[in-house]
Amino acid sequence: MTHMHITAWVVGLILLLVSYAMYKTGNKSGKILHMILRLVYLLIIITGFLLFINNTGVYTNSAGILGEVIVKMIAGIWVIGAMEMVLSKISKAKPAKSAWIQLIVALLIVLVLGFGRLPFGVQFMG
Ligand code: HEM
């Protein structure tokens, strides 16, 4: 499940960048990729919740970890919200700076918690 979760959000970030570039250059396929990206959001959320549900025992038994995983999940939803904000701004040719800043902040929180602190999957940030 961790690998599916990671695959889902990596695919999501790639789709975000490609549809962003397409919207910027006026390519009509940006809209289609944006729609596919919305399905990928669902996959990210479902795999994330499954990871949580399958491992609630681990989270509730280790002091402090439950709080961190809850913050991780909220920040994960925030990442998705910020991705959607970036694309909705850019599709209307509006400045997307504040959406990008949110995306980067939320992504940093999620990566540090996911790779650095929480127990499952790869742990390459210490
Ligand atoms: C684009 C948004 C998201 C990104 C970039 C992201 C990223 C990550 C990363 C890097 C990990 C750690 C994987 C590993 O250690 O190998 C992870 C694990 C996890 N994610 Fe997400 N995630 C996102 C959205 C979500 C959402 C929306 C939820 C819940 C609703 C969620 C729940 C979880 C859970 C429960 C884990 C397991 C943590 C553990 O190792 O104990 N994620 N995610």
CA distance 38 to 79: 13
The pLDDT of residue 61: 85
Q: Residue 126 has what pLDDT? A: 43
**Is any ligand 1 atom within 6 A of the Cβ of residue 67?**
no
Per-residue pLDDT of the chain (126 residues; tens, 9 = 90+): 889 999 999 999 999 999 999 999 999 999 999 999 999 999 999 999 999 999 998 888 877 799 999 999 999 999 999 999 999 999 999 999 999 999 999 999 999 999 988 888 765 554
Q: Which two tokens stand for residue 18?
A: 């490609």
Ligand 1 centre distance from Cα of residue 25 (Å): 32
Contact 119, 78 (CB under 8 A): no
Whole-angstrom Cα distance, residue 121 to residue 107? 17
Tokens for 120? Answer: 């499952």
Q: Is the C-beta atom of 51 inside 6 A of ligand 1?
A: yes
Residues 76 and 112: beta-carbon distance below 8 Å: no
Task: Give 14 Cα–ligand 1 centroid separation in angstroms.
Answer: 17
Q: Say if ligand 1 is within 6 A of residue 118 CB.
A: yes
How far is it, in rounded angstroms, from Cα 33 to Cα 87?
A: 11
Q: Determine the pLDDT at residue 111.
A: 96
Whether 58 lines ligand 1, by a CB cut-off of 6 Å, is no
DSSP label at 121?
Answer: S
User: 69: Cβ below 6 Å to ligand 1?
Assistant: yes
Q: Is the C-beta atom of 79 inside 6 A of ligand 1?
A: yes
